[in-house]
Structure 1
Amino acid sequence: MRGLGVQSWLRELPDAVIVLFSLVTQLGDVWFLLLIVTVTYWVGPQLPRVDEAIDRRRAAVVLGTVLAGLVVVTVAKELFGLPRPPGAGEAPQTGLVPAGLWPLYEWFSTGSGHGFPSGHAIGSTVAFGGLAWALRTGRPRTRVAIATGLVVVVSISRLVLGLHYLVDVLAGIGVGLVVLAIAIALQEPERVFALGAVVGAVGLMIVGPITDLVLLTGVAAGAALGWYVFADGLVRSPTRRAAAATVVSGVVVAGPLLLLGEVVSLSPEAAGPIAFVGGLAVVAMPLVGERVEKEIRRQNDA
């Protein structure tokens, strides 16, 4: 019923198309979306051909929007509890993937847990839509068109791989647009981070202490505090040296904490504090670096 007949003809696509879409679908995976928005937040003004097209504040709004979107989809999946299409946990058979790469292909092309709404559809909508709003380069229509194309391709990949029904991805895009609109209306990063934390806290009261939800809520809460405490006095144009220091500091401080929460099976009681500190570090490290640079500039000018 939720497939509206689409899945039946998608099963007949050539193997090469299936393998291609197993790669394309990573554009909407959590690891990729968090990577691109975090890197944009950390070093956006220093990225080649980006320069002044984005500032730290708008990048922080995008990061908060993605966190809020992930919180929403985690709560929604538990509330609805609707299954994925049959066979979603098994990789589509093909002779094009070497045996040595099969585990990676299997990871790319399978899904587990509840199916409605599509997390990839929500995540790609808030991430690419947020970046289209935050980047002030080129024509707005062009940015929106690129973001729309990426969302559509990611959503199609979920259908081709048999991981979602059509209704799942359409609902995901719709929910993502609502989250994006609310985040842009809130304007201030601390409000957007707080949105994710509040929705997560309410969700925990409704669906219970699910570890993934605890992790996301903790990261959003830590990020909100990090921005609230350290965001005053941003440097307009940090140097490339400061940007490099930001990346190194962020990777050293926040990386192990967030990686621990992702790869180690943690209890909700342990996941919350680790995620909170990790989220605070991700947001605070570049802000602290900018404060230091501002102080150095002040002393040099004195």
Structure 2
Amino acid sequence: MTRGIGEHALVNELLPDWLAVVFGVLTQLGDIWFLSLLLASLFLLDTPSRSGVAFVGGAWFAGLGLYRGLKELLAWPRPTAMPLDPEALPGVVETIYELTAFAGGYGFPSGHATSTTIVYVGLASVLTVSTARRRYAAAGTVVALVCLARIVLGLHYLVDVVAGVTLALTLLFGVRALADHRSLDRATVAFAVAIPLAGFYFVTSGAELEAVLILAASLAGLVGWRRYDSTRMA
């Protein structure tokens, strides 16, 4: 069974191969290393949005556990063919492409689409810079670019990234609604939700190291945030 609708053939027909390296760089906006650095930097800034950034971080941990658990449960493969040919690129550019544009594991749902949506849309909802309309427009642009990059690079089908975005929005606003309904701290609820979802990934993966790390990070995030919040409120 294929999940494709001809999107990779269209990419191959419309886009030149040299664009592969551009999309390889763009996809880094949704990589774990970049999102971790972004959230850590924003949290360390002494701003009124620190609790909001913590909420986004907790929601992201929840998303990591959820989409990775679903990948293991469904075990739907990635596309087998690359629409753009890296061998057509100059040597140095091909090396950059190979360092940024390859991925292993299963393909559904898209982890980059899930993570990017949670983090950038989440930050748009909690930061105070500029206007809300501009923040959401910027977030939507980044999400669209990363999702497009995953398709162009042949790492996902369209349905994979659509599922990732849908999953992320449901989780992000679901956690926020739960916290607001019960008048609870959003960051606390986000980290609390992340723990069982990390456990879900732990079970479906057969206790892989990455699952253990996400579970440990979720627990540490909850304990650390509660300790910080209680100190701040004292």
Shift of 1:110: 1.1
1:212 aligns with 2:210: yes
Shift of 1:103: 4.1
Matches within 5 A, 1:82-161: 82-87=76-81, 92-98=86-92, 102-161=94-153
1:32 aligns with 2:26: no
Q: Which amino acid aligns with 2:209?
A: T
1:15 aligns with 2:13: no
Question: Distance between the aligned counterparts of 2:56 and 2:126, measured in 1?
Answer: 7
Q: CA contact under 8 A between 1:200 and 1:213: conserved in structure 2?
A: yes
| Larger RCO (CA within 8 A; separation ≥ 6) | 2
Runs of 4 or more consecutive aligned structure 1 residues displaced over 4 Å after TM superposition: none
Q: In structure 1, what is the equivalent of residue 61 of structure 2?
A: 67
Q: CA contact under 8 A between 1:77 and 1:117: conserved in structure 2?
A: yes
> Which structure: larger Rg?
1
Q: What SS does structure 1 have at the residue aligned with 2:103? A: coil
Question: Distance between the aligned counterparts of 1:126 and 1:168, measured in 2?
Answer: 16
Q: CA contact under 8 A between 2:194 and 2:218: conserved in structure 1?
A: yes
Percent identity (aligned): 34
Q: 1:232 to 1:125 in 2, by over 3 A?
A: same
Structure 2 portions without partners, runs of 5+: 180-184
Show CA shifts across 1:174-232 (max 9, x none): 00111111232224212211111121123423442121111111101111011122322
Q: In structure 1, what is the equivalent of residue 182 of structure 2?
A: none
Q: In structure 2, what is the equivalent of residue 239 of structure 1?
A: none
Q: Which amino acid aligns with 1:173?
A: V
Show CA shifts across 1:273-299 (max 9, x none): xxxxxxxxxxxxxxxxxx9xxxxxxxx
Q: CA contact under 8 A between 2:107 and 2:156: conserved in structure 1?
A: yes
Q: Which amino acid aligns with 1:144?
A: Y
Structure 1 portions without partners, runs of 5+: 46-53, 236-290, 292-302
Q: What SS does structure 2 have at the residue aligned with 1:93? A: helix
1:171 aligns with 2:163: yes
Question: Distance between the aligned counterparts of 2:45 and 2:190, measured in 1?
Answer: 20
Q: In structure 2, what is the equivalent of residue 76 of structure 1?
A: 70
Show CA shifts across 1:229-261 (max 9, x none): 2322428xxxxxxxxxxxxxxxxxxxxxxxxxx
Q: Which amino acid aligns with 1:9?
A: L
Return the TM-score normalized by structure 2. Answer: 0.89
Matches within 5 A, 1:40-51: 40-43=42-45, 45=47
Aligned length: 225
Q: 1:86 to 1:206 in 2, by over 3 A?
A: closer
Q: Which amino acid aligns with 1:174?
A: T
Return the TM-score normalized by structure 1. Answer: 0.70
